[in-house]
Amino acid sequence: MKVLVTGGTGFLGANLVHHLVARGDQVRVLKRPRTPPTLLQGLPVEIVEGDVTDFDSLLRGSRGVEGIYHVAALITYWRPRRQRQHRVNVEGTRNVAEAAVRNHVRRVVHTSSIAAIGFRTDGQPADEETPWNWGPYDIGYRTSKHLGEQEALKGCKRGLEVVVVNPAVIFGPRDVHRNTGRLITMVAKKSTILWPEGTITACDVDDICQGHIAAMERGQSGRRYILGGEHVRFADLIHQVAEAIGKKVRVVTIPRWLEQAVARGAYGLSLLTRKEPPLTPDLVQVRHLVGTYSSERAIRELGYPQTPLRQTLEKTYRWYVENGYLPAAGRPAT
Euclidean distance between CA atoms 285 and 266, whole angstroms: 15
Helix (H/G/I), strand (E/B), else coil: 40: helix
C-alpha torsion 209→212→213→214, nearest 10: 120
Q: According to the model, what pLDDT value does residue 332 have?
A: 41
- Report pLDDT digits (tens) over 205-261: 999 999 999 999 999 999 999 999 999 999 999 999 999 999 999 999 999 999 999
Q: Label residue 329 by pLDDT band (50, 70, 90).
A: low
- Provide the percentage of residues in the chain whose pLDDT is more than 70: 98
Report whether pLDDT(322) > 60.
yes
Identify the three-state secondary structure at position 297: helix
How much is the average pLDDT of 85-96? 98
Residue 295 pLDDT grade (very low, low, confident, very high; cuts 50, 70, 90): very high
Mean pLDDT across the stretch 135-148? 97
- Would you list the DSSP string of 32-71? -TT---GGGTT---EEEE--TT-HHHHHHHTTT-SEEEE-
Q: Comparing C-alpha atoms, which of 99, 103, 113 is closest to residue 71?
A: 113
The closest of 31, 43, 37 to 4, measured between CA atoms, is 31
Q: Residue 27: enclosing H or E segment and its boundaries?
A: strand 26-31
pLDDT at site 267: 96
Confidence tier at 327 by pLDDT (50, 70, 90): confident
Whether residue 154 has pLDDT greater than 70: yes
Mean pLDDT over 87-115 rounds to: 98
Does the pTM surpass 0.75? The reply is yes
Closest CA to 144 of 62, 98, 78: 78
Of residues 36 and 103, more confidence is placed in: 103
- Check if the beta carbon of residue 220 is closer than 8 Å to that of residue 227: no
pLDDT digits (tens, 9 = 90+) for 158-197: 999 999 999 999 999 999 888 888 999 999 999 999 999 9
| 2-6/67-70 β-pairing | parallel
- SS3 per-residue string spanning 147-163: HHHHHHHHHHHHCCEEE
State which H helix or E strand residue 6 sits in: strand 2-6
Average pLDDT, the chain: 95
Check pLDDT > 70 for residue 334. no
pLDDT for residue 330 is more than 70: no
Please state the rounded mean pLDDT for residues 69-90: 97
**Domains defined for the chain, CATH in brackets:** 2-171+202-230+292-307 (3.40.50.720)
